[in-house]
Structure 1
Amino acid sequence: MTTVIRKGRCQLATWLERREARYVVLRVICLSSLIAPADKRTPEERLTESLTEVRTRYVDGRLTEREFEEELSRLLEVEQKM
């Protein structure tokens, strides 16, 4: 799959996810999961990427210390379940 098509599918899936969060009918159909390209990363790779993203957002000032700690706690809970 080309990068442009993959990016377009990701954008469409994100748009659908927002609508699904708002409208129950769309949530039941769950189109976003059909549109989104398959994620070929391992759970460990996804976790590492998420941790890096949270740290970057904190360093850039986009998260307060409290928000950073909450996100970090949530990610560490996910890691413990793996």
Structure 2
Amino acid sequence: MGWLSNRALGISLVVLLVTSSLLAVVLGYLGLVVYSALMTGTPIVGILLDMTVPYLPVVAVLLVLVVLSGIWFGWSLLQRASIPKNDRLASVAGRAEREVPLLGALGLSESLSPPEPTPEERAERTLAELKRQYVDGEIDEREFERRVDRLVSNDSLEEARAARERRAVLEGESGRT
């Protein structure tokens, strides 16, 4: 992640506070001028027209900045929120992204999908399923032992393959230097 994305929540909050404060000051000043015109009996239309011309662009820019920074702050807050991750939410988000291509840029389906289990987690789940099948009587002791042996040998093969790949990478790096 980049520097900006790591600090997006704080930056967006500061921008939101600054722009909304400036907008409040400008609108407060305009309100004060209108109030003073009303209290002195001065025709308000002339004063408003004189003030609207220079301040209308400032108000418009500040209003746009407040809205955009509010959206940015809300999005940054949602990204940091602890949203449950499961396949159903990811499939709904994927369907919405297919229907509305603009949503695809947000990457909701990836952020809602659960992480892939590690090989150790997969092996633990498989072993737990084998134990359940053995306890429930779905498989006999011989079949249980055969499947556990196969599971252990697959883990050994994966470990050997990973060690071989590590050695190849290290040898490739030492060959370059």
TM tier relative to shorter chain:
0.5 to 0.7
TM-score by length of 1: 0.53
2:118 to 33, 42, 52: 42
Query: Could you say what secondary structure the match of 1:78 adopts?
Result: helix
Structure with the higher helix share, 1 or 2:
2
Q: Which runs of 5+ in 2 are unaligned?
A: 1-86, 92-114, 160-177
2:132 paired residue among 56, 65, 72: 56
1:68 aligned partner, one-letter code: F
Share of identical aligned residues, percent?
38
SS of the aligned residue for 1:2 comes to helix
- TM-score, structure 2 normalization: 0.26
* 1:2 maps to 2:88: yes
Aligned partners of 1:64, 1:2: CA distance in 2, in Å? 36
Q: Which runs of 4+ in 1 moved over 4 A?
A: none
Per the TM alignment, residue 79 of structure 1 is displaced from its structure 2 partner at its CA by: 1.6
**Pair 1:74-2:150 in alignment:** yes
Counterpart code for 1:44: E
